[in-house]
Amino acid sequence: MSEESERKTLAPPKMTSEADAHTPVEMLRLAEQAGIAKAHLSWLDLIIKSFLGGVFISLGAAFDLVVAGGSPGLRASNPAIATLLGAFVFPIGFVIIMLFNVELCTSNMFVMAYSTLRRRTTIYDLLRNWIVSYIFNIAGCLFYAGVLCYWADTLSSSAQKDYASTQASGRVNVNWGYNVTRGIMCNWLVGIAFMFFTEGRDLLSKIVGIWIAIWTFVALGYQHSIANYLLVPIGMFYGTEFGVGKFIWASCIPVTIGNIIGGAFFGAFAMWTVYGRHELSVKELNRQESYADRV
């Protein structure tokens, strides 16, 4: 081996300051393609994927209840640490949803809104996806709450059952407007979780990105309309002072409104304003290609 080739072999690799991730513009183009793919799902695929999305998000929410509810001493002595630990396990459901590519209405509030603003999907596509995924996310959550949590006795200790009831009351017996605003920041962060996931190129980066955003919204007490269909009914199973009507009025409606505002306006519309509206539309791209072909 010559001296020059030996130096090349022994030379350390060049370091680069560029992050191994998609840029925001590239990420939004991928989000746009995701919206198109969701619009083309068959009814059966959309229904099944949405049911699975409800089951998986319930998995993470139930994990949170087991950890936080099973630590009454820690909650009494250091509630911040107990909240932090419970919130830390919650994102497992979101990770499964994103990696399995199943449907979650709240993340679709960002994705479908963005692709519709880009005129790649229609209002019909958006409403179809939102309504069907919302309904069957609820079905998945209630299935998990009744069959895989309550009947399976997942919350086996009295402390966990009491905590399930207490946290459910805290989500319902609260000012209506508070739940709207808590829903806004929750789904803003869910949209950010989707963006982090899409920006990452490797599996670990995608998982860490999801975990950071979801851990944050859960620890801060923001409200997720779909997860609440596990967290509130399971508390009702163990005894609460309110019924289904109050749950719908005081929690489901305001939190869902807040989630739509957070995902579609603060998430999708904000990103479209900053990046998407400067991107060429499909018609403009076709016009440019036609002109290039003629030239």
Evaluate if residue 269 carries a pLDDT over 90: yes
Residue 200 pairs in a beta bridge with: 21
Evaluate if residue 45 carries a pLDDT over 90: yes
Q: What is the band of 284 on the pLDDT scale with cuts at 50, 70, 90?
A: low
Residue 150: CB atoms within 10 A of its CB come to 18
What pLDDT, in 10s, does the model give residues 59-78? Answer: 999 999 999 999 999 999 99
Residue 90 structure tokens: 């919650």
Handedness of CA 230, 231, 233, 237 (dihedral sign): positive
Contact of 121 with 39, CB cutoff 8 Å: yes
Residue 28 structure tokens: 């939004």
What pLDDT, in 10s, does the model give residues 142-159? Answer: 999 999 999 999 999 999
Rounded-to-integer distance, Cα 198 and Cα 101, Å: 12
Contact of 120 with 32, CB cutoff 8 Å: yes
Q: What is the three-state SS of 22-82?
A: CCHHHHHHHHHHHHHHHHCCCHHHHHHHHHHHHHHHHHHHHHHHHHHHCCHHHHHHCHHHH
Residue 188 structure tokens: 């803003």
What is the pLDDT at residue 291?
A: 47
Residue 131: CB atoms within 10 A of its CB come to 11
Rounded-to-integer distance, Cα 93 and Cα 59, Å: 6
Supply the mean pLDDT for the chain.
91
Evaluate if residue 90 carries a pLDDT over 80: yes
Q: Which residue has the tokens 């009947």?
A: 151
3 state DSSP class of 20: coil
What is the pLDDT at residue 279?
A: 77
What is the pLDDT at residue 163?
A: 97
Rounded-to-integer distance, Cα 22 and Cα 201, Å: 7
pTM of the complete model? 0.88
Q: Tell me the mean pLDDT in the region 21-49.
A: 96
What pLDDT, in 10s, does the model give residues 169-224? Answer: 999 999 999 999 999 999 999 999 999 999 999 999 999 999 999 999 999 999 99
Q: Please, is 115 exposed, middle or buried when counting C-beta atoms within 10 Å of its C-beta (0-12, 13-18, 19+)?
A: buried
Cα–Cα distance list, 18 to 40, 180, 197, 206 (Å)? 35, 39, 18, 17
